[in-house]
Structure 1
Amino acid sequence: MHRFIHRRGALRAGLALGATLLVPSARACEYFADNLRITHPWCRATAPGATSVIVSMKFDEVTRPDRLIGVETMVAEGAELGGRLSRPTVDFEIPEGVETHLGEHGTYLRLTGLKFPLEVARTYPLKLTFEHGGVVGANLNVDYARFF
């Protein structure tokens, strides 16, 4: 049986394959400082009248020790650390070569003085300031609510 290859179709297929190899893959919810990666900053939706919310995120690919020293967002007046390393300021150590988490079940970031309720599936701008990594613009994702 004689197989006929359409040259134009083969060329299109080859170009499409080549283009997919050149384009970097999309990485949802990943943000990069000079020396680390921040993954999925998120919080839960809040009830009307809530004054604070816990923010979780992961830091990894740390090539130089750093500290998260500031957080700004349009949704809150301030931020502080809560949980095990609770303090009224943001000063979170991020060691080199280790995956570190801010989350509900350990040390967490708390946004204080919420200006309005945070709704499920919304995103809000978040500015993270690091001692060595500089300022990183990110999005705060609002996930499901848990009201008790």
Structure 2
Amino acid sequence: MNRHLIASLAAGLFATSALAQVTVTDPWVRATVPAAKSAGAFMHLQSATNARLVSVSTPIAGRAEIHEMAMENNTMRMRAVDGIDLPAGKPVHLASGGYHLMFFELKRQLKEGETVPVTLVVQDAAKKRTSVTVEAQVKPLTYVAPAMQGHHGH
């Protein structure tokens, strides 16, 4: 009986991934100092069909938002956005200096080496929403993601 339950659960996990049609690679969150109230999260997304990242959540923060860095009056500023388009078959990079995720009202310090669950909500062209949860690795405060040769942000 246990074997059948495990097989059913595994099949369910694969079905959820197939429904989402979004591949998430290299998810990570920057470690924080003890009193920090916010942290940034980064990853690579690719959707099989035209879709849109419309929201994000994590149990380690009171609030999570999708952000972008943009020039405003000759100054680079961070601002919340209502979503990020995920064009079919094209990689979208959430990286420092471009689109990224922000976690506010942190409930605890994020320490290097641990993982943090992050749930992404993706909406397809028919307005159907699917949740994808990933485990983001907490990287050191000084971590710099490897350069993405041939990729220019989003």
TM-score by length of 2: 0.67
Mapped pair 1:88 → 2:67: no
Query: Counterparts of 1:69 and 1:111 in 2: how far apart (Å)?
Result: 15
Give how far 1:105 is off. 2.5
Give the paired residue count. 116
Structure 1 residue aligned with 2:3: none
RMSD: 2.2
Query: Counterparts of 2:82 and 2:117 in 1: how far apart (Å)?
Result: 18
Structure 2 residue aligned with 1:121: 113
In the TM superposition, 1:21-40 aligns within 5 A as: 34-40=20-26
Select which of 19, 36, 39 maps to 1:53. Answer: 39
Query: Counterparts of 1:69 and 1:144 in 2: how far apart (Å)?
Result: 28
Query: Counterparts of 1:49 and 1:145 in 2: how far apart (Å)?
Result: 14
In the TM superposition, 1:1-148 aligns within 5 A as: 34-60=20-46, 62-80=47-65, 81-84=67-70, 86-132=78-124, 134-146=130-142
User: Measured at CA, do residues 45 and 98 of structure 1 come closer, stay the same or move farther in structure 2, by a change above 3 Å?
Assistant: same
Indicate conservation of the 8 Å contact 2:68/2:81, yes or no: no
Indicate conservation of the 8 Å contact 1:79/1:90, yes or no: no
Query: Counterparts of 2:81 and 2:108 in 1: how far apart (Å)?
Result: 22
Give how far 1:103 is off. 0.8
Runs of 4+ with >6 A deviation: none
Paired letter, 1:83: M
2:140 partner SS: strand
Q: What percent of counterpart residues are identical?
A: 28
Identify, as 1 or 2, the structure richer in strand: 2
Give how far 1:40 is off. 1.8
TM-score by length of 1: 0.69
Unmatched runs of 5 consecutive residues or more in structure 1 = 1-30
Greater Rg, structure 1 or structure 2? 1
Paired letter, 1:88: A
User: Measured at CA, do residues 86 and 124 of structure 1 come closer, stay the same or move farther in structure 2, by a change above 3 Å?
Assistant: same
**Farther-moved stretch of structure 1 (132-141 vs 49-58):** 132-141
